[in-house]
Chains A and B, each alone.
Chain A
Amino acid sequence: MDRNQITKWLKSPAKMAHKYSLHAVYFCTGCGIIEIPPVITTRWDAERFGVLPVATPRQGNLFMITGYVSLKTLKAIIRTYEQMPDPKYTVGFGSCPINGGMYWDSYNTIKHLDRYIPVDGWIAGCMPRPEAVFVGVTHLWTLIDKGKADGYLRYKRYYAAYRRNQEMLFGELQWPPLYPTEAEAEEARP
Chain B
Amino acid sequence: MIASLRTGLEATFKGVEVTDREDGMMFVLAPGESIPAVLRYLREHGLDHLALVSCVDWIEEGELEVVYLLTCYMRNNTDYGPEQRRHVLLRTKLPRESAELDSVIGIFENAEPHEREIHELYGVHFEGHPRLIPLFLERGYEIPPFRKDFDTRQYVEKTFGAIPPVED
Contact = CB atoms under 8 A, between A and B. Distances in A.
B150 A71 contact: no
Given A105-B152, A105-B156, A107-B150, A114 B166 contact: yes
Nearest to B165: A115
A110 B138 CA distance: 12
Interface in B120-168: 136-139, 141, 145, 150, 152-153, 155-156, 159-160, 162-166, 168
Contacts of A9: none
Nearest to A72: B138
A179 interface: no
B163 A168 contact: yes
A168 B156 contact: no
A74 B139 CA distance: 13
B152 A106 contact: yes
A165 B138 contact: no
A42 interface: no
Interface in A105-125: 105-108, 110-112, 114-115, 118
Interface stretch (A21-29, A51-59, A129-137, A154-162): A154-162
B120 to A, nearest CB: 11
B99 to A, nearest CB: 19
Contacts of B139: 71, 169-170
A118 B165 CA distance: 11
Given A75-B138, A111-B160, A105 B153 contact: yes
A72 B136 contact: yes
Interface string B80-112: 000000000000000000000000000000000
Interface of A: 71-72, 75, 104-108, 110-112, 114-115, 118, 154, 158, 161-162, 165, 168-170
